[in-house]
Structure 1
């Protein structure tokens, strides 16, 4: 892949976050719009690592290396999540919820709800940016498909962050929305450049390991944040319909780019 193409993908992904934040600031999205946007992003990401990233990682390295890389990327995001939550996390309907609340009274999460979400997303953008760079270094078509899925993801995540900040900050949330979404975009761009310049000369086995690791980390993000967020706003299962559409778009792009 030419550097100019990578630069365009990285810029699109970086700008998607502040643009989504600005849209959330100018026009508050409806719950239906949020369910569709976030659901579509979840489906697109699922398609990216199911149809492009994992198959390509296994082809470049081997099946055991791809499995190990996916496991490592998943475990890294899981550890980051527990670090932010100070080792205690449970769903609203979990029987362990009372235990988690007792832990939270003694050890509060590292930041408020907005900081936890936006800060965690910024850290995840580093992984997604590296994934764009590594994908571009391995195969042009993989880089384009993965990059497009991340652009969609960043835009929808920015809408969710903007809505959450509106709920917490009242009538003047502009500075915080644009600050967080700008940081998220900058983290992605810097990581994509680092992935291209620092990692593209690695061996095929290491590139395959890193590509699978990015898939594992993004899978964790999709299943723990995007899918629940989309479903919590759904109407007539709008999130599931949007997720199916996002997955089919990436599936179609994957097959078209392979020709």
Structure 2
């Protein structure tokens, strides 16, 4: 068992590294100008790591310390919260490129555009989602430091790849001061995660285990929504010879092995 002080140092380090991953990814986008192949691999790897984290760490731990109804409700609520955010920033109109409703949605968005540019919507939404992910790190550290380590690793990989994607999207928009905007947004994303992880540790670790399990499942639900609606489609859109699928499988297996070793 870790001491309280040892656990705090662990969650502080995990949250700090995961938070710094976002501006690091933004800097990579500026300096490397990553190719679509590199992005497909990095984002695909993040998707696999996140899926493995839900499957082998987050939901099993939520079920262990709470109950099936509590964990299920927490997951559903976390999913619904991030869905609601997505619905809000897109003014209640979302459709895939092959959907029959796509044309009507595009016509509606010409009259009533999303609440900001694509890059700002993505960056702002990601900052909000980081609040949920940060709480998952803090609560996970209170429940089991090894779980927090794997969750933090998953978020770190995800933050680097997402920041690279945000950076590339902002660069493609060609607006003035783009480098400053990239570093500003990605730093905000990292700060959101770090602060929420500290809040999760200091304010929520004293709660009953059942409540901690609910919060952990809530974080898993929000991260799951982000993975299936944003991370996986983004990786697949850039794939070459199914590079994203291969990277996703590697990420999934990596977390499975880590879960068995910790």
Alignment match, 1:140 = 145
CA displacement at 1:103 relative to structure 2: 2.2
CA displacement at 1:102 relative to structure 2: 2.6
Query: Which among 87, 92, 101 is matched to residue 87 of structure 1?
Result: 92
Alignment match, 1:162 = 167
CA displacement at 1:99 relative to structure 2: 1.7
Gaps of 5+ in 1: none
Q: Which runs of 4+ in 1 moved over 6 A?
A: none
In 1: Cα distance, 2:27 partner to 2:111 partner? 37
Alignment match, 2:261 = 256
Alignment match, 1:151 = 156
In 2: Cα distance, 1:34 partner to 1:72 partner? 30
CA displacement at 1:105 relative to structure 2: 2.6
Alignment match, 2:9 = 4
CA displacement at 1:98 relative to structure 2: 1.6
Alignment match, 1:118 = 123
Matched, 1:61 2:66: yes
Gaps of 5+ in 2: none
Query: Which among 127, 136, 139 is matched to residue 131 of structure 1?
Result: 136
In 2: Cα distance, 1:106 partner to 1:235 partner? 36
In 2: Cα distance, 1:106 partner to 1:10 partner? 41
Alignment match, 2:110 = 105
Residues 115/171 of structure 1: CA separation in 2 closer, same or farther (3 Å cut): closer
Matched, 1:71 2:76: yes
CA displacement at 1:24 relative to structure 2: 0.8
Alignment of 1:203-242 (within 5 A): 203-242=208-247
CA displacement at 1:171 relative to structure 2: 7.9
Query: Which among 176, 179, 187 is matched to residue 181 of structure 2?
Result: 176
In 1: Cα distance, 2:108 partner to 2:84 partner? 17
Alignment match, 1:19 = 24
Alignment match, 2:200 = 195
In 2: Cα distance, 1:231 partner to 1:98 partner? 23
In 1: Cα distance, 2:175 partner to 2:68 partner? 50
Q: What CA deviation, in whole Å up to 9, does each residue of 1:11-39 have, x standing for no partner? A: 00110000111111011001110000000
Higher mean C-alpha deviation, range 96-105 or range 152-161 = 96-105
In 1: Cα distance, 2:177 partner to 2:113 partner? 26
In 2: Cα distance, 1:202 partner to 1:171 partner? 47
- Alignment RMSD: 1.0
TM norm structure 2: 0.96
